[in-house]
């Protein structure tokens, strides 16, 4: 077997292995979907950080949406 044949067969083997791993990952993600992040927690943390920076020692107790 020539060096070129060995390289081609190794490339094909790697491609097949990565394809199988991608399918396994797809099945795992389908079986166990990721939880959606709660945006309210992120907004609260951002508001609390800004309030703490602007007014040291302050505590955010309530956030209301004004329309």
Average pLDDT over the chain, rounded to an integer = 91
**18 confidence band (pLDDT: 50, 70, 90):** very high
Q: How confident is the model at residue 64, as a pLDDT?
A: 83
Interval 35-59 mean pLDDT: 86
**Nearest partner of 44 among 62, 21, 18, 25, judged by Cα:** 62
Domain ranges of the chain: 1-34, 35-67
The span from the CA of 25 to the CA of 34, in Å, is: 13
- In a 13 Å sphere around the CA of 54, the CA atoms on its Cβ side amount to 8
Interval 21-33 mean pLDDT: 96
């Amino acid at each position: 077997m020539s060096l070129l044949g060995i390289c081609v067969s190794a490339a094909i083997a790697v491609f097949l292995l990565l394809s199988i791993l991608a399918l396994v990952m797809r099945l795992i993600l389908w079986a166990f979907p990721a939880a959606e992040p709660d945006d309210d927690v992120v907004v609260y943390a951002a508001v609390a950080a800004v309030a703490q920076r602007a007014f040291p020692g302050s505590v955010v107790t309530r956030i209301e949406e004004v329309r």
